[in-house]
């Protein structure tokens, strides 16, 4: 069975044709990436993809969306598109559809991909627990969070959350300075303001002020690039500070969700900084939870390296909703 799998974030919408076999195995065609800013609506982006595919698409679709998915109108967290579920079949020509939060889809992918699709980041170097609760999060344009519960019989349940919008909790003077900068623009500073791709600009500017170095406001991609290639020590310090903050947030999410069977970092940004994550203060911040430090140190933290976990997970979510076997 074929369907259109779609992963829609704040910056990009990715489309693929997914094939699901009777045994639940999933394969994806090469994805097509469309910039959300290039299209006025999801409808026109869909039509662009359909044209690229020769004008015909399977009559089934599964969409992973960056933002809450309930209600009569779905509004995206970081782009201006909307989707009205009641009109999906009419507008897209689909017989059946599934709509899930983007990190709900990633959690579906975590549940189904093999162990070779993960690399180790911190904690004990052992596989994710085959039963119990796992926490899944990842920085991109925003910060996505979900959790996964694995049953002893091999089935699983996934829940979307908006954990990226919990309060940012500073741990030292530099964190305090980052918070103070952000408070000038936001009365309430969520972790997404500190642990998402665009946040590197505020971190960099904060460090520059502390160093007494005048720096121009610039694109976050440029800072990420210099921070990773070693050409700018201040940008490298900003990247390390980002990794520390990500460790703190990942640990908080695991505590809140009970994700003691493992934590999975997802997303393209996490993959790009994977080597820095291992060498940074990520691991120390992850387990720095006072009386629970020993518990936190026992949790394996992995990075999913499947090239398209959102697309794969959207297809897996469709299979789960519509009764296609996952065994």
* CA–CA dist 77, 57 (Å, integer): 27
11 carries a ligand binding annotation: yes
In DSSP terms, 298 is beta-bridged to none
Q: Confirm if 246 and 143 have CB atoms less than 8 A apart.
A: no
Q: Confirm if 194 and 168 have CB atoms less than 8 A apart.
A: yes
Residues 143-159: b if buried by 16+ CB within 10 A, e if exposed: bbbbbbbbeeeeebebe
Q: Which helix (H) or strand (E) holds 97?
A: strand 96-101
3-state helix, strand, coil in the chain (%, to 5): 45, 25, 35
* CA–CA dist 327, 324 (Å, integer): 9
8 carries a ligand binding annotation: yes
**3-state DSSP call for residue 252?**
helix
Q: Confirm if 91 and 56 have CB atoms less than 8 A apart.
A: no
Count the neighbouring beta carbons within 10 Å of the beta carbon of residue 124. Answer: 12
Q: Confirm if 108 and 313 have CB atoms less than 8 A apart.
A: yes
Q: Confirm if 17 and 3 have CB atoms less than 8 A apart.
A: yes
**DSSP, residue by residue, 127-196:** PPPSSEEEEEEEESSSEEEEEEEE-TTS-EEEEEE-GGGSBP---SHHHHHHHHHHHTT-SS-BGGGTSS
7 carries a ligand binding annotation: yes
Q: Which residues make up each annotated binding site?
A: 6-11
Q: Which residues make up each annotated binding site for ATP?
A: 6-11
């Amino acid at each position: 069975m074929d369907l259109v799998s779609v992963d829609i974030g704040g910056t990009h919408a990715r489309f693929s044709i997914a094939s699901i076999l009777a045994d639940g195995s999933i394969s994806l065609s090469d994805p097509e990436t469309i910039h959300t800013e290039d299209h006025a609506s999801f409808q026109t982006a869909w039509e662009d993809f359909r044209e690229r595919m020769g004008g015909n698409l399977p009559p089934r679709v599964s969409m992973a969306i960056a933002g809450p998915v309930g209600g009569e109108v779905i509004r995206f967290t970081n782009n201006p598109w909307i989707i009205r579920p009641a009109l999906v079949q009419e507008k897209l020509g689909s017989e059946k559809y599934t709509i899930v939060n983007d990190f709900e889809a990633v959690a579906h992918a975590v549940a189904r991909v093999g162990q070779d699709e993960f690399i180790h980041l911190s904690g004990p170097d052992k596989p994710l627990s085959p039963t119990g609760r796992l926490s899944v999060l990842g920085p991109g344009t925003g910060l996505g969070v979900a959790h996964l519960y694995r049953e002893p019989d091999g089935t699983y349940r996934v829940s979307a959350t908006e954990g990226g919008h919990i309060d940012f909790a500073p741990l030292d003077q530099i964190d305090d300075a980052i918070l103070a900068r952000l408070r000038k623009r936001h009365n309430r500073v969520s972790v997404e303001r500190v642990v998402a791709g665009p946040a590197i600009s505020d971190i960099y500017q904060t460090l520059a002020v502390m160093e007494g170095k005048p720096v121009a406001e610039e694109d976050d991609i440029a800072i990420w690039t210099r921070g990773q290639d070693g050409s700018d020590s201040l940008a490298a310090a900003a990247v390390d500070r980002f990794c520390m903050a990500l460790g703190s947030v990942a640990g908080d999410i695991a505590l809140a969700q009970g994700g003691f069977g493992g934590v999975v970092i997802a997303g393209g940004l996490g993959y790009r900084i994977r080597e820095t994550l291992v060498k940074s203060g990520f691991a120390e911040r992850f387990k720095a939870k006072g009386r629970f430090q020993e518990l936190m140190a026992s949790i394996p933290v992995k990075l999913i390296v499947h090239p398209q976990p959102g697309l794969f997970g959207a297809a897996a979510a469709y299979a789960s909703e519509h009764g296609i076997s996952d065994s």
